[in-house]
Amino acid sequence: MTPATARLLQMALQLPPDERLALADELYCILAQPDPAVDAACVQKALDRLSAVDAGEMETYPAEEVLAELERR
């Protein structure tokens, strides 16, 4: 965190709770904006993986196995 950001955070922490919430909401809305370039890259990656699975170039695992492995960890 840069010093300027740290100062902004300290200022924000001094705000009343309702104003902090409003600030956090505004920041979240800015960050939650879709990025068409990222969305396109994600779609392309999914299509590439689907093609690899269809071509037999990528191994798949049943969801039950993956979830069971996560539970073991």
d(CA 22, CA 11): 14
The domain locations on the chain are 1-33, 35-73
pLDDT at 43: 96
Find out whether 23 and 17 touch, Cβ atoms under 8 Å: no
- Residues of the chain with pLDDT below 70 are none
Integer-rounded Cα Rg, in Å, for the chain is 21
Read off the amino acid at residue 31. L
User: What is the pLDDT, as a whole number, of residue 34?
Assistant: 87
Nearest one of 20, 53, 34, 50 to 10, comparing CA atoms: 20
Count H helices and E strands in the chain, helices first: 4, 0
pTM of the model: 0.49
Quote the strand ranges of 1-73, DSSP E. none
pLDDT at 64: 95
